[in-house]
Amino acid sequence: MPFGFTHMLLAYVTGKVIVSVKKIKVDYLFWFFLILGGILPDGDFVLDWLFGLGLHRTYSHSLLFALVAGFGVYYVFKKFDFKNSKVLGLGVCLGILVHIIADVITTSSCGGPAVLWPVGLYFARNMVCDTAVRGFHEGSFNWAIIDMGIGAAWFLYLIVRHKIEL
Ligand SMILES: [Zn+2]
């Protein structure tokens, strides 16, 4: 199961491949939303901790979430007449999709993401389950999540401040 930096890196590498193959030019905000999308699905941990929901890898790891987040970013930036609103929406959507695919590929049990949420099917690289098996992230695993949050905030800060050449 990839942690935060791996998810962000996978989103970034995917973006780099697409940009170089398609020979398109994008600005730093595209990279911000792409990498944010790469980590956003695991933000469900925060709600799990705060409210004890136990919904990790459900709504936030779905195609529906990717579409809603993509259209949400597009809509907000369009409202402010931002010229690249479509590209930003596509960026966050692509980052979320890369995250979901990575979670599916790296899971070999019934703990995979509910890709078709709200349909209760959980996808792994070698099976589809109708019941999720969770709990592998509890206890000391919480520290890995805190580490991921700090790392993600640091990386996104560097992008926003133009401290990283993308
Ligand atoms: Zn995930």
What is the percent of the chain where pLDDT is above 90? 59
Ligand 1 centroid to Cα of residue 100, in Å, is 6
- 124: β partners: 127
Q: What are 78's two structure tokens?
A: 């369009």
What is the model's pLDDT at position 106? Answer: 87
Spatial separation of the C-alpha atoms in residues 46 and 70, rounded to whole Å:
21
Which residues have a beta carbon within 5 Å of ligand 1, which is an ion?
Answer: 41-42, 103
Q: What pLDDT shows up at residue 138?
A: 44
- Rounded to an integer, what distance in angstroms lies between the CA atom of residue 163 and that of residue 110? 40
Whole-number Å distance, alpha carbon 152 to ligand 1 midpoint, is 14
Mean pLDDT of 78-85: 91
Rounded to the nearest whole angstrom, what is the distance from the C-alpha of residue 55 to the centroid of ligand 1? Answer: 11
Domain residue spans in the chain? 4-105+138-160
Report pLDDT digits (tens) over 6-56: 898 899 999 999 999 999 999 999 999 999 999 999 999 888 889 988 888
**Among the ranges given (5-9, 118-122, 137-141, 157-161), the one the predictor scored with the smallest mean pLDDT:** 137-141
pLDDT in tens, 91-117: 999 999 999 999 999 888 888 999 999
